[in-house]
Amino acid sequence: MPEGPEIRRAADRIAKVLVGEHVAEVAFGLPKLKRFEKRLTGKKVTAVDTRGKAMLTRFDCGLTLYSHNQLYGRWFTMRRPRLPNTKRSLRVALHTETHSALLYSASDIEVLDAKQLLRHPFLQRIGPDILDPQLKAEDVVRRLQMPQHNNRALGSLYLDQTFLAGNGNYLRSEILWAARIGPTRRPAELKPAEINRLARETLRISRRSYRTRGVTTTPSLARSLKERGLSYGQYRFYVFDRDGLVCHRCDAEIERRSMGGRNIFVCPQCQARTADEQRAEVVGK
């Protein structure tokens, strides 16, 4: 599933061709939305923004197109009259005189007025957007210390959109590695220096991924690995999907584990378990 950085970059592409333009033609692939085609045709797009993994395309008539890509949804932007070569099902088509913004395969799509937008169950439930430029490290610390969050294992918490919207599977592996914290640890047991480091890396890694088209490694490391002939898929991550390969920090072998029903990638040395966890394991044997 695309994570916050990918959705934000898609929003940037769509904004580039739609914002400030009047939509000359609107088509919806879902029957429940057909009634909005005439209402949106001819309207100007005023903004395209995101809340976590949801995208909000705003029109000057007061309506907003809400879309969530879920697992399979994908946006394309094309110069008219071209269409992408895909067998996916077209769900949304917004055409200006010169360009098209096209959403395929998604099913979580609605057209909402201002009141409905405020009451939307997903938007009401989620936490702050991880890419919100107003979000500070101290804000993340406060959320980590909230009663509903501070006794949960970080590997599970960092998939929970009520904690921080836009976080996801590759980001949680990369953030926890950068902060040198194991996924089974809980905010309540972190020392002040650890929780502050985790908050800083939460913002640093997610924002770097947004800026660099999904690369979470530092620019210098990415450049060095690229010069050695590694592909984008091989140099973009510190640990995610790198099980069996050496850690860039300590040369230990990266491990693939399962947590929250999904794979998580960990350096067993950089993110060593706490002394209490090791003692508990010995006692349990």
Split at pLDDT 50, 70, 90, the class of 2 is confident
Annotation marks residue 3 as catalytic: yes
Non-local CB neighbours of 14 within 8 Å, separated by 6+ positions: 48, 55, 57, 75, 77, 101
Annotation marks residue 2 as catalytic: yes
Annotation marks residue 189 as catalytic: no
pLDDT computed for residue 274 by the predictor: 54
- Marked catalytic residue, from 2, 5, 183, 187: 2
- Marked catalytic residue, from 3, 6, 174, 201: 3
- Marked catalytic residue, from 8, 9, 51, 53: 53
**Residue 215 pLDDT > 50:** yes
Each residue's pLDDT tens digit, 35-82: 999 999 999 999 999 999 999 999 999 999 999 988 889 999 999 999
**What percent of the chain is modeled with pLDDT above 70?**
95
| Mean of pLDDT values over 258-275 | 86
HEC string for 224-251: HHHHCCCCHHHHCCCCCCCCCCECCCCC
Each residue's pLDDT tens digit, 162-210: 999 999 999 999 999 999 999 999 999 999 999 999 999 999 999 999 9
Q: What percentage of the chain's residues is helix, strand, coil (to nearest 5)?
A: 35, 20, 40
- Marked catalytic residue, from 262, 268, 273, 277: 262
**Residue 261 pLDDT > 90:** no
Domains parsed from the chain with CATH numbers: 4-125 (3.20.190.10), 137-284 (1.10.8.50)
pLDDT computed for residue 44 by the predictor: 98
| Cβ contact 222:215 at 8 Å | yes
Give this prediction's pTM.
0.90
